[in-house]
A and B are shown apart, each in its own frame.
Chain A
Amino acid sequence: MDPILTTNILNVVYEVSTLAVVVLGLAVVFGLLGVMNLAHGEFVMIGAYCAFFVQTQNLPFLAAVPVALLVCIVLGLAVERILVRPLYARPFDTLLATWGLSMLLREGVEAVYGRGFKSVAVPLTDSIDVLGADYPSYRLLLAAVSIALVAGLVWWFVRSATGRRIRAVVNNPELAGSVGIPVTALARNTFVFGCCLAALSGVLLAPLMPVQPMLGLDFILKSFFVLVVGGLGSLVGLISGSGVIGGVESIVSAFFDRTYGYTTVLIIAILFLWLRPNGLFPRT
């Protein structure tokens, strides 16, 4: 196969899978709790800064994973208790509150690290020969980890007892509570879990992007496009949305250029909002 074509195909796989893993946390929190967390991008940003912090401490890259999880568990618990829990079932207020939170987090990180670009070294710098095309191994690994994460989560959600309880709570919180499912704790854990997923994607992506306090904003818009196309609140929707948005953008970009890629994505998002506002796989 033509190595350039292979590279282009791998680019599409890479873009779709990394997009899915960034949106995963947002989709979990929105789909299950109905909480639109506008600070989701900032949790990604914090994850990326954890990778940078670990590097400044001369620790191996993977040490960033527990650090980021710890930071986001603490942060997520506090945010859920103080900000999100009092505002459940008030989606617009949650939107405003988390938007405010996103600003606070950006300014907070800026106060510590400043506005300058930080660079996180890529842990694997070599490349792997895939069907005659040299592809950077870290990107391949990242795509593989992303796919595994999404698949693992889907499997867990469908098969595990906790997954069943979450689905019960989503369906009917009062009934779920009356049969003894701890609704409050489950909601809290789900929110924190979403934050952790964001932070984890931030750690993984940190070596491949300029780390700076505003980087979360770059993710939030495209994440919304994915949810618009895929439909809110189902994992199948998330995967198909990432596939459509990430796939179309990178394929069009490969054939023409980025400007056409963005335009096509915008047109798709507008068409969906107009003709199919519930997305491909709406929650039934």
Chain B
Amino acid sequence: MQKIYKPISRRHFVAGALGSGAAVAAPAILTGAQAAGELKMATFYALSGPGSLFGPTQTAVTKLAVDEINAGGGIGGRKVTVIPSDGGAPPAEAAKAAIRLMLRDKVDIVVGSHDSAVREAIVAALKGRVPYVYTPLYEGGECNPNVFVTADTPQQQVQPSITWLAKTLGAKSYYLIGNDYVWPRKTNEQAKKYIAAAGGKVVGEEYVPLGAPNKFEDAVTRIKAKKPDLVVITLVGGDNINFNRTFAGFGLDKSIKRISYLLEEQTLAGIGDKSSNGLYSAMSYFENEKSEANAKFKAAYRKAAGAKAPPLAMIGVDTYGGVNCAKALIEKAGGTDAAKLMAAASNLNYRTPTGTGVMTNRHVVKDMYLAECKGTSFDIVETFKAVAHGQTCS
């Protein structure tokens, strides 16, 4: 068998040591050249695992954002190159990839759209040495230094929508059902707060394991017995589809309204037009949003990604704002120095698919939409302007 590894000889070792000595010394010499060089942006998108349904949209939307930025002269005069990594990998793998990207590839910034376990691993690996922009909707509370969150928070999703539904539908009793992990539980914490504030009552709350082949006949039967006015759903992906189909299958859609907090175009396609009657969703993006900015965004996307482009849905489209937030941050801070970026993040304006996001406390004040499902598309019934994110990062 052929030997794959050669033992390192002393001469090679000395040469290597000299080489790395030169590399350490290099930045002092190259500063001028690097400023005009490329800007390396690492992305962590779901290329594998259950979230990989969103990967194609994340990648295509990021490509559009980066192409637009490069066509306009790049970020601070530097062309952007994207180095993709798998955000659907187990957290330990993602952390290793983050360290590799930081030390070997020397990336300037990281943009990620993935779950919170992976986010925590990446934050721990980067230790604030590389700026990190986190984009998908999440449970809130991420305040680590040099981390910038463009995600929807539970406060933004829940407060306006519950208040509106309680008033408009006259909902008094609520049933909460979600997957058993941090995002549904934190979101329901907020929900319970605003349900109480609106004078409503929670008549049931249950969680099913994440990633198990769940069935919902039993849950739907419990809901049928409790007869709530509104079911608050924090199930994700296949469970969200399965629950809503079972719910409508048992005929409960005729008398009980539902709101799901992770319901975008792809999940709604799975739920189907027969099961979406009386179902609402609240997020910061729907493809059907009618603003001029969104029309332009959609046209640019169709032109760039072609007829077979992956669908425009919230998880995926979030990366457009993320990449543009990275641009705005670096340009306002005049580089990627952590202290300067942190200062620049206060009242930072950046481009989103539907207009402009405003960053405060390293989260984003944004417009939120409440949409009612009509068949397999969303009909926006209310727009809530500049909703506070409820986060207190310094």
Contacts and interface: CB of A to CB of B under 8 A. Distances in A.
A209 interface: yes
Contacts of A138: 249
Given A117-B53, A134-B251, A259-B209, A8 B270 contact: no
Given A134-B250, A208-B246, A210-B241, A253 B218 contact: yes
B266 A127 contact: no
B52 interface: yes
Interface in B224-248: 224-225, 237-238, 241-242, 245-246
B238 A117 contact: yes
B215 interface: yes
Contact of B221 (A11, A115, A118, A262): A11
B67 to A, nearest CB: 23
B303 interface: no
A136 B238 contact: no
B213 interface: yes
A208 B249 contact: yes
Interface in A206-255: 208-212, 214-215, 218-219, 221-222, 250, 253-254
Interface in A3-28: 4, 7-8, 11, 14-15
Contact of B208 (A14, A120, A258): A258
Contacts of B271: 119
Contact of A115 (B52, B241, B267): B52
Given A115-B53, A122-B249, A259-B180, A7 B224 contact: yes
Interface residues of A, number: 40
Contacts of B164: none
A215 to B, nearest CB: 8
Given A136-B250, A212-B238, A259-B207, A116 B266 contact: yes
Nearest to B250: A136
Nearest to B249: A136
Interface in A110-143: 115-122, 125, 127, 134-136, 138-139
B272 interface: yes
A31 to B, nearest CB: 23
Contacts of A254: 218, 221-222
Contacts of B127: none
A257 interface: yes
B180 A250 contact: no
Contact of A119 (B217, B225, B269): B269
Contacts of B215: 15, 250, 253, 258
B251 A259 contact: no
Nearest to A212: B238
B206 interface: yes
A209 B246 CA distance: 9
Nearest to B49: A214
Contacts of B53: 115-117, 212
Contact of B209 (A125, A127, A262): A262
Which bracket fits the contact residues of B?
A: 35 or more
Contact of B217 (A15, A118, A120, A214): A15
B292 to A, nearest CB: 29
Contacts of B269: 116-119
Contact of A258 (B218, B221, B241, B266): B218
B215, B251, B267 pick with most chain A CB within 10 angstroms? B215
Contacts of B214: 258
Interface string B266-283: 110111101000000000
Contact of A122 (B206, B225, B274): B274
Contacts of B338: none
B212 interface: yes
Nearest to A8: B221
B53, B218, B242 pick with most chain A CB within 10 angstroms? B218
Interface in A242-281: 250, 253-254, 257-259, 261-262
B219 interface: yes
A117 B218 contact: no
A214 B206 CA distance: 26
A4 B238 contact: no
Contacts of A135: 250
A118 B241 CA distance: 10
Interface string A188-218: 0000000000000000000011111011001
B138 to A, nearest CB: 22
A218 B213 contact: yes
A253 B222 CA distance: 10
B213 A257 contact: no
Nearest to A261: B218
Contacts of B219: 257-258
11 contacts: A11-B217, A115-B52, A116-B269, A119-B272, A122-B274, A135-B250, A210-B242, A210-B245, A211-B270, A254-B222, A262-B212
Given A11-B217, A214-B50, 10 more contacts: A115-B56, A134-B250, A134-B251, A135-B250, A138-B249, A208-B246, A212-B238, A221-B213, A254-B222, A258-B215
Report the 6 A-B pairs with minimum CB-CB distance, sorted nearest first: A117-B270, A218-B213, A119-B272, A210-B241, A253-B218, A11-B217
